[in-house]
């Protein structure tokens, strides 16, 4: 486990097809709150479209076993070396090379 946030937990893993280290984000109860559901959908939609060296890449969305009754979504992301939330909350002054 790497950590948890507003919408789920993140664990490190190895992407079997490429052998790269990745992060798998598990989001539970995605339909419990309509606003949260829309935010999760927005996050996935944006990550699918964004291709930039400074934005984590979305490698895969693991298809649920049952499309009629699923409540959990797993997305496979590029593994980032730092946590943006921790960086923002830290007292350090970011230099351009950090950004």
In a domain, 94, yes or no: no
Q: How far is CA 11 from CA 25, 27, 60, 86, 89, in A?
A: 7, 12, 15, 17, 22
Q: Which residue has the higher pLDDT, 66 or 18?
A: 66
In a domain, 96, yes or no: no
- Report, as an integer, the average pLDDT of 22-33: 94
In a domain, 79, yes or no: yes
Give the count of domains, the chain. Answer: 1
Alpha-carbon distance of 47 to 59, in angstroms, equals 9
In a domain, 97, yes or no: no
Cα torsion 15, 99, 44, 8 to 10°: value is 80
Alpha-carbon distance of 75 to 36, in angstroms, equals 16
pLDDT tens digits, 29-68: 999 999 999 999 999 999 999 999 888 899 999 999 999 9
The CATH number of the domain holding residue 70 is 3.30.200.20
Domain range for 10:
3-89
């Amino acid at each position: 486990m790497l950590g948890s946030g507003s919408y789920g937990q993140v664990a490190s893993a190895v992407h079997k097809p490429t052998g790269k280290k990745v992060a798998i984000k598990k989001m539970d109860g995605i339909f419990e709150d309509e606003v949260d559901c829309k935010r999760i959908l927005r996050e996935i939609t944006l990550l699918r479209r964004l291709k930039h060296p400074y934005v984590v890449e979305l490698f895969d969305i693991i298809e649920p076993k049952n499309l009629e009754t699923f409540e959990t979504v797993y997305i496979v992301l590029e593994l980032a070396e730092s946590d943006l939330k921790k960086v923002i909350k830290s007292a350090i002054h970011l230099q351009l090379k950090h950004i």
